[in-house]
Amino acid sequence: MVTFAVSPVEANKVELNEWERPTGHPVAERREYKDANCRDVLQASPNLDARIGSPNGFVHGVVRAYNNHHHLVLRPDDVWLAIMTQFGLFVNKNAEDLRHALVKHQEGQKELVVKDVGSLRTVDYGYMATQMIDQMTDHLVDPALSEWVLPSFSTTTFHDRIVGSVVMMASMKKYFTYSCQLACGIPTVTLLGTVSDWEDIRRRADKLATFGDLTTKWMSMLTPVLDQFVAAANNKPDVEFWQRICHSVSHGSGSCHLSGWITVFSVFDDAGVWQGDLDAVEILQIRKARPGEFTPYGSHVREMVKLGGDFPVVEVGKVTAGYLTVDVKIDDNGTEYKSVMFAGHLAYEALVDGTSIQPTLAWAIALK
């Protein structure tokens, strides 16, 4: 673990707006939950309902810490699974082009069935997700692919392996269907883990180049960022780099663009379409005038701001979801149910010190 200073600012307490205070389960607020008319969250990561729900707990949590002078705490698992959720969107968008490189069967979907003792509300769905990956391995061109996807760092918990397993299930859903059969019965940044954990992420990222031109382009953006994580873990942080996490520009229309290295974790949109071009963008910014600054627009100044060039520019409203979903059939002693599993960064947490933000990896299964 290493903690290093980034900016000479005093840490602010994380103050929640009224609408941010947990009033229900974060998964129930997600678009896929509503679109599928889900009616109940069967199981989920512990204490997820006490977190600050977010469509992307990693990107939004980091941006909030950066913009509001909060300490930032990151685990290797957070960064690696943020990469893998993006990779999953890419795979689903390009499933047929990648089929020969990923799975042995060259058409259709194979059904994976996991059997366990229990009932609809008592069975351990997280454990069953890990069993799905064990079965999937037999059908992969590279059996080591699952261990590449799944986190295995010094900070990794069994809960993180569940998140990674569901992320992999969702990444491979164009090739597999899944069934469960039940029988009775930022003032500072803290990088958790070891130096070797962060070096492991850096090595794993190289494999992205084997999946085509887009992932090669993505890898070329990721690797300089991951190199900085490794340097920081070695107690050699480039403070200037950590001061460039993000830059946001608001418009008079109410929209906002985001740039900085955090956008390399949102290069594929929710449909898996590439949105990671590095073209610089000129955006009209409307900001409050500084003391003594002349402006013909009353108390505000209009100016063109150039974003991008080094990292993608993403509209804040188009920051990709930091989680993936996958349908699972449940056969509860002959009664069939349909469900959807969620996994990824479903929230972020205000830590007990009151001034730190940490992304939350979580999973859930919801009954349709």
pLDDT at 64: 92
pLDDT at 179: 96
Residue 300 — very low, low, confident or very high, per pLDDT cuts 50/70/90?
very low
**Domain for residue 100, yes or no?**
yes
**Domain for residue 22, yes or no?**
no
* pLDDT (tens digit per residue) in 88-137: 999 999 999 999 999 999 999 999 999 887 778 888 999 999 999 999 99
Q: How far apart are CA 145 and CA 140, in angstroms?
A: 8
Kind and range of the H or E run holding 53:
strand 52-53
**Domain for residue 17, yes or no?**
no
pLDDT at 304: 43
pLDDT at 281: 56
* pLDDT (tens digit per residue) in 315-353: 888 899 999 999 999 999 999 999 999 999 999 999 999
Q: How far apart are CA 173 and CA 324, in angstroms?
A: 10
Q: How far apart are CA 338 and CA 336, in angstroms?
A: 7
**Domain for residue 19, yes or no?**
no
Mean pLDDT of the 2-23 span: 86
Please give the tally of structural domains in the chain: 1
> Which residues make Cβ contacts (< 8 Å) with residue 324, sequence separation at least 6?
85, 88, 89, 166, 167, 170, 171, 342, 343, 344
Read off the DSSP letter of residue 207.
G
* pLDDT (tens digit per residue) in 145-180: 999 999 999 999 999 999 999 999 999 999 999 999
**Domain for residue 18, yes or no?**
no
**Domain for residue 146, yes or no?**
yes
Highest-confidence range of 28-37, 182-191, 357-366, by mean pLDDT?
Answer: 357-366
DSSP 336-348: EEEEEEEEEEEEE
Does position 19 have pLDDT exceeding 60, yes or no?
yes
Torsions phi, psi for 12 (to 5 deg):
-90, 150
pLDDT at 185: 61
Query: Domain containing 357: what range?
Result: 2-6+28-367
Does position 252 have pLDDT exceeding 50, yes or no?
no
Q: How far apart are CA 37 and CA 338, in angstroms?
A: 11
> Which residues make Cβ contacts (< 8 Å) with residue 66, sequence separation at least 6?
72, 186, 245, 246, 262
Residue 303 — very low, low, confident or very high, per pLDDT cuts 50/70/90?
very low
Look at the block and give the residue holding tokens 């009775």.
184
**Domain for residue 252, yes or no?**
yes
Measured CA to CA in angstroms, residue 147 lies from 88, 96, 228, 251 at distances of: 15, 22, 24, 44
Taken as a whole, the chain contains a residue count of: 368
Q: How far apart are CA 137 and CA 134, in angstroms?
A: 5
**How high does pLDDT run on average in the chain?**
88
**Domain for residue 15, yes or no?**
no
Does position 253 have pLDDT exceeding 70, yes or no?
no
